[in-house]
Structure 1
Amino acid sequence: MDTITHTLFGLSLYSAVDKQDMDKNDRRAYLLTAVGASQIPDIDVISRFWDTEGLYQMWHRGITHSVFLTPVWALLFFLLSFLLFKVKDKKLFLLGWLAVFIHNTSDLFNAWGTGYLEPFSNMRITFGTIPIVDLVFWTIMGIAYIFSRRNKLKSPYYFKMAWAFLLLHVLIQSTQGFIIYKQYDDQYDQVALSADFIPWTFSVITKKDDEVTIFNDNLFTEKETQYVLQSIETADLDKLFSQRPEAKTLYEWSPFVVLVDDDERLGLYDPRFYRNGQSFLFEYIEKNTER
């Protein structure tokens, strides 16, 4: 998910806590833990500054997003709460653990995926059933906020209800995505999903031999072919990998790629992010000039 959504998740967790009997330091500790723990896995973005081998694509959403690291992050915020606010409450550890777990698990549902099982597996797990920016999430939490402003005493109740609706949305959307995925799975060599911003609508990316086809589909209308792409499977990628190590990382990171080998460029891109004639995850070298 995007940074705004993770922040809203943290604020919604904080708002779901009954704080009537808390003093100022307790409230600060709970706010720090809920919001901070909802953001902390994305600290891996700083690895971009020392990445000299083109590995950032694999590092981002890697070990910091591992489910096995969630209690470590929770412990960090438990200790910070004690050091900064002198608050020692076991519930803070549980809140931090839940916040990190929600961050890491929610990231599984969009096309980018995570290294959820690192360090035991480097596989990127992705379901592709929820967009990175999901306006349904924002709307549900926004409605809870509006109701909480009208009756502050019932704020925890409203936000607990919001979390129930968030889970229901994920369940409904992901069930539809799974059904659509199964409709394509037997027909193609490889299939991937990427949820669109419009609820219940998906881009279905398929590959058979050297042809990649991207469909727009949902359960209530006929599928529509958006793009048909040719992958040059005979392309020799050794030179590309030696000059652009990011390309090798992308090749290993993506479920499958489209290979480009023409008079101008040798490269590859992830078709899940293909929009308006190009993918923003595209690594290549120029054949006639140095890049």
Structure 2
Amino acid sequence: MDSLTQIVLGASVGEAVLGKKVGNKAMLYGAIAGTIPDLDVLARYFVDTVTATEWHRGFSHSIFFAILFAPVFGGLIHKIERKSTATFLDWTRLMFWGLLTHPILDAFTTWGTQLFWPFDLRLAFQNIFVIDPLYTLPFLAFLILAMRQNRSSLKRLRYNQTGLIISTSYLLLSLLLKGVAHEKFIDALQVQGIEYTAIDSRPTPFNTILWTANVDTGNAYLIGNYSFFDSEEIEFTVYPKNHQLLGRLQENDTLKRLSKIAEGWYAITKIKDILFFNDLRFGLVSLDPNETRFVFSYELTIKNDELQVKETEKSGRDAKKLFTALWGRMWGN
């Protein structure tokens, strides 16, 4: 999830663990704990694109990381807060839950997380987008209300608990909504007589009303959208895989690693003799049926007999257009 959401979750968890003893400092250190796992993004400044992408939501998003570093950070805080009545074990417990709840929440997103690192298993339930205002804003509001109360106040406890309950309930509701939307896609494929080998569904950005699905039909992918307010049948747009354009690159180790990152959901496009690897899991940059650009796309070039991978830059203008289009499409076709 986005940084704000993880800060709110971490602060709320910190309050639940130690708020009664140390007040708002529990929220502060909980927020820090909720931020730490995402520092793995700094790897992009030290390693190549593919390696940095592999590391993202890996070790730092695991149970192992939480167990290993909770006492380290807990001990550091204990030294900083020498005058506090909280013990080393108190701070360690706060950091453990702050570090652990971060990847647990991330496991519900499209990217997922390697919660059980070092085992090669990525959990990705794909029932909530990385930014969802309906999850974050009510949670934030109750956290602020709790923050303004005395640490021993019953209202403080209830406000924080309410925020946790509402956000968790919404997360569980999104699982139910995913199940319903997924079945709608399957029904549409059956009605239209489309044969397929795999289907992958997820919410579109910022909401859980409009859903999208990638469908593998063998030589091509179909992409369709479904809103709970739709009155017409789902339409699917065809996107050729074009894997043959890779030629010998299909056997390249770097390309295989990139394919593994995309979990096999990728299409190749060729623009002015340059190949682009497109990760389908995060969708297109617009809802235009003629759109061919994907949110996550990588330029492939050969330099000194080695495959170079460069992530294409994202445009703020595209994001604004997509948001406007999503808002309109969300209310039905």
TM-score tier by shorter-chain length is: 0.7 to 0.9
Match of 1:281 among 296, 320, 327: 296
Q: Secondary structure at the match of 2:244?
A: coil
What's the TM-score once normalised by structure 1's chain length? 0.83
4+ runs deviating over 6 angstroms = none
Closer, same or farther: CA 14–248 of 1 in aligned 2, 3 Å: same
Structure with the greater relative contact order (CA < 8 A, sep ≥ 6): 1 or 2? 1
Pick which of 232-241 and 265-274 moved more.
232-241
- 1:210-221 aligned at under 5 Å gives the runs 210-219=219-228, 221=230
Q: In 2, Cα distance between the equivalents of 1:114 and 1:17?
A: 24
Q: Shift of the alpha carbon at 1:73?
A: 2.7
Q: What residue in structure 1 maps to residue 133 of structure 2?
A: 135
Q: What residue in structure 2 maps to residue 224 of structure 1?
A: 234
Q: What residue in structure 2 maps to residue 101 of structure 1?
A: 100
Pick which of 143-152 and 276-285 moved more.
143-152
Match of 2:72 among 46, 71, 76: 76
String of CA shifts for 1:194-233, please: whole Å, max 9, x gaps.
Answer: 3222233321121111221222224553553364311113
Q: What residue in structure 1 maps to residue 166 of structure 2?
A: 165
Q: What residue in structure 2 maps to residue 194 of structure 1?
A: 202
Residue correspondences, number: 282
Q: What residue in structure 2 maps to residue 45 of structure 1?
A: 41
Conserved 8 A contact 2:177-2:208? no
Q: In 2, Cα distance between the equivalents of 1:261 and 1:238?
A: 15
Q: What residue in structure 1 maps to residue 212 of structure 2?
A: 203
Q: What residue in structure 2 maps to residue 124 of structure 1?
A: 122
Q: In 2, Cα distance between the equivalents of 1:53 and 1:14?
A: 34
The CA RMSD over aligned residues, in Å, is 3.0
Q: In 2, Cα distance between the equivalents of 1:6 and 1:205?
A: 28
1:13 aligned onto 2:49: no
Closer, same or farther: CA 224–182 of 1 in aligned 2, 3 Å: closer
Q: Secondary structure at the match of 1:55?
A: helix
Structure 2, unpaired ranges of 5+: 303-307, 311-333
Q: Secondary structure at the match of 2:299?
A: strand
String of CA shifts for 1:39-80, please: whole Å, max 9, x gaps.
Answer: 111121121122147311101111111223221232222111
Closer, same or farther: CA 147–226 of 1 in aligned 2, 3 Å: farther
